[in-house]
Amino acid sequence: TALAYARVWHHVDASDRVLGKLAERIALVLMGKHKPIYDKGGERLVVLALAYTADCDPGVVDCGDYVVVTNARNIKVSGNKEQQFLYRKHTMYPGGLKETPYNRMMETKPHEIIMHAVSGMLPKNKLRDRRLSRLKVFGGSNMGIYRNNILKRWEDGTLTDEYILRLDPQNRPLKT
Radius of gyration of the chain (CA): 18
Q: What is the mean pLDDT of residues 117-124?
A: 95
pLDDT, tens digit, 9 for 90 and up, residues 134-150 = 999 999 988 888 888 87
Cα gap 165→63, rounded to integer Å: 22
Residue 118's pLDDT is 97
- Contact at 8 Å (CB) between 111 and 41? no
Handedness of CA 70, 165, 6, 53 (dihedral sign): negative
Fold of 2-167: Ribosomal Protein L13p; Chain: A; (3.90.1180)
Domain ranges within the chain, ordered by starting residue: 2-167
pLDDT, tens digit, 9 for 90 and up, residues 34-43 = 888 887 765 5
Classify 98 as helix, strand or coil: strand
* CA–CA–CA angle 46, 135, 143 (5° rounding): 150
